[in-house]
Structure 1
Amino acid sequence: MSMSRTQIVTTAAGGSALLLAGAFLFQMLGYPPCTLCIWQRWPHAIAFVIGIAFLVIPSRILAVLGSLAVATSGFIGVYHAGVEQKWWQGPTTCTSGDISNLTPEQLLEQIMAAPLVRCDEIPWALAGISMAGWNAIISLFLAGIWLVAARRFS
């Protein structure tokens, strides 16, 4: 049985809604989000809104935009997972960064300005994959689902 475009988009947008719900659930359970976590949430919110718009005005462009939105979250998730694994440095606003060349005054200033939640720490993981890693995997899968819906217009 083949799914309709609307069913496919509902699945993809619903996936974004579930990821957002999961993020808020983890937050309520005591895992506050870092800056990069927040960045990963916005594209899912946008994809969900695009999914609602698609129900009113089904179009290929909306399906492509939905795919781009969740792919953006996926790529931020890949970047975030790399920051967590110390493969590359993240934004200085949420990672410790290199402190070797700082004066004691600069170091104290950095400590006082540091966020409560750092982007380069893994607060929770499943099967060795962090929340950022799972977001990347699921988001890129959802991007593919959106593209399947876009292809149904040909």
Structure 2
Amino acid sequence: MAASLFAPLDKKAALLAFLIGLVAILGALASQVFGGLVPCELCLEQRMSYYWGLPLLAVILLTWNRLPLTVWYTAMAVVTAIFIWGAYMGAYHAGVEWGFWPGPTACTGVGEMVSFDAMSNLNAAHVVGCDVVQFRLFGISMAGYNALASLAMVGLLALSIFAQYRRQAR
């Protein structure tokens, strides 16, 4: 009976993780395009986990019953590791925003001066520091929400792996 509880859970958990990731990256892109928020260097770095992890997870979902188990486990482990890194980046960026630790000197205003080539376009450029919060909802910045979304995805992917393991162990 316990194994039957996990049978439909493996794919549903992975699909839910994919949907959370898709909403997160589309929300970030919409806030930039339609909301006028300018992403900093750490914001752009955080998006990399979605750009790499979501397509791989989509391939896994589309080939769910056709992948050999070793390939499936390896791919799921890679996707989970990508979003663990994404959760770390989101938490790191949120910590920079709260002033818990210093951010990279390139995006917190402590780095080198702007080059002469960049000076010619200085009026057109809009650079946002990584320690500047442009948007908060319920006291949490977008970096914080990214960390939470990535953590939720990691949990769901781990649940999917565990459920698949339990189903195969029957």
**Range with greater deviation from structure 2 (6-15 or 83-92):** 6-15
Deviation at 1:4, TM superposition (A): 3.4
Question: Of 59, 65, 72, which residue of structure 2 is paired with 1:53?
Answer: 59
Q: Distance in 2 between matches of 1:73 and 1:97?
A: 25
> Root-mean-square deviation (CA), in Å?
2.3
Q: Is residue 76 of structure 2 the alignment partner of residue 75 of structure 1?
A: no
The residue number in structure 1 matching 2:149 is 138
List per-residue Cα deviations over 1:15-54 (Å, max 9, x = no partner): 1111110000100110011110011111012221121221
The residue number in structure 2 matching 1:103 is none
**Residues 143 and 108 of structure 1, relative CA distance in 2, 3 Å threshold:** closer
Q: Percent identity?
A: 29
Q: Secondary structure at the match of 1:33?
A: coil
Question: Of 2, 7, 13, which residue of structure 2 is paired with 1:8?
Answer: 13
Letter of the structure 1 residue corresponding to residue 43 of structure 2: C
Q: Distance in 1 between matches of 2:56 and 2:17?
A: 10
Deviation at 1:115, TM superposition (A): 6.9
Letter of the structure 2 residue corresponding to residue 54 of structure 1: I
Matches within 5 A, 1:81-92: 81-92=94-105
Letter of the structure 1 residue corresponding to residue 31 of structure 2: F
Q: Is the 8 A contact 1:89 1:97 kept in 2?
A: no
Q: Distance in 2 between matches of 1:107 and 1:22?
A: 33
Q: Is the 8 A contact 1:17 1:45 kept in 2?
A: no
Any gaps of 5 or more consecutive residues in structure 2? Answer: 166-170
Q: Distance in 2 between matches of 1:97 and 1:15?
A: 35
Deviation at 1:7, TM superposition (A): 2.0
Deviation at 1:97, TM superposition (A): 2.9
Q: Secondary structure at the match of 1:32?
A: coil
**Residues 115 and 76 of structure 1, relative CA distance in 2, 3 Å threshold:** farther
Based on CA coordinates, which of the two structures has the bigger radius of gyration?
2
Q: Distance in 2 between matches of 1:145 and 1:61?
A: 16
Q: TM-score, normalised by structure 1?
A: 0.84
The residue number in structure 2 matching 1:123 is 134
Any gaps of 5 or more consecutive residues in structure 1? Answer: 99-105
Aligned residues: 146
Deviation at 1:153, TM superposition (A): 2.8
Q: Distance in 1 between matches of 2:114 and 2:21?
A: 40
The residue number in structure 2 matching 1:38 is 44
List per-residue Cα deviations over 1:39-71 (Å, max 9, x = no partner): 111101222112122121361222222211111
